[in-house]
């Protein structure tokens, strides 16, 4: 559920963080391929998002991150299924 900040404040006693200056969480999103990671980041940037960190290629795992329009840190990533099995 996506809700606006004033209504969201009814669900917590803590302060709502300013995502333009603070990171509240990093949301990792599993993708089916490296190309899917690149495509998601490209669409996010084209839609007004901002790059967060450079792409990280570890061979068996690949990820790239961006900040969405609300400042949330999102990291699409792909892991080779064979590597995940050990």
Condensed to tens digits (0 to 9), the pLDDT of residues 63-83 reads: 999 999 988 899 999 999 998
Give the strands of the sheet with 26-30, arranged side by side: 26-30, 73-79, 61-67, 50-57
> Can you tell me the distance from the alpha carbon of 23 to that of 39, in angstroms, rounded to the nearest whole number?
24
Indicate if the pLDDT at residue 32 is higher than 90: yes
Indicate if the pLDDT at residue 1 is higher than 70: no
pTM of the predicted model as reported, rounded to 2 decimal places: 0.78
Going by CATH, does the domain composed of 24-84 fall within 3.40.640.10? no
- CB contact at 8 A, 28 and 35: no
Q: How do the domains of the chain map onto residue ranges? A: 24-84
């Amino acid at each position: 559920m996506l809700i606006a900040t004033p209504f969201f404040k009814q669900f917590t006693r803590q302060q709502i963080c300013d995502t333009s200056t603070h990171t509240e969480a990093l949301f990792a999103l599993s993708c089916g391929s490296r190309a899917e990671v690149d495509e998601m980041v490209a669409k996010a940037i084209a839609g007004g998002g901002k790059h967060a960190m450079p792409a990280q290629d570890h061979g068996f795992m690949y990820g790239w991150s961006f900040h969405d329009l609300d400042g949330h840190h999102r990291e699409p990533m792909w892991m080779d299924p064979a590597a995940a099995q050990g």
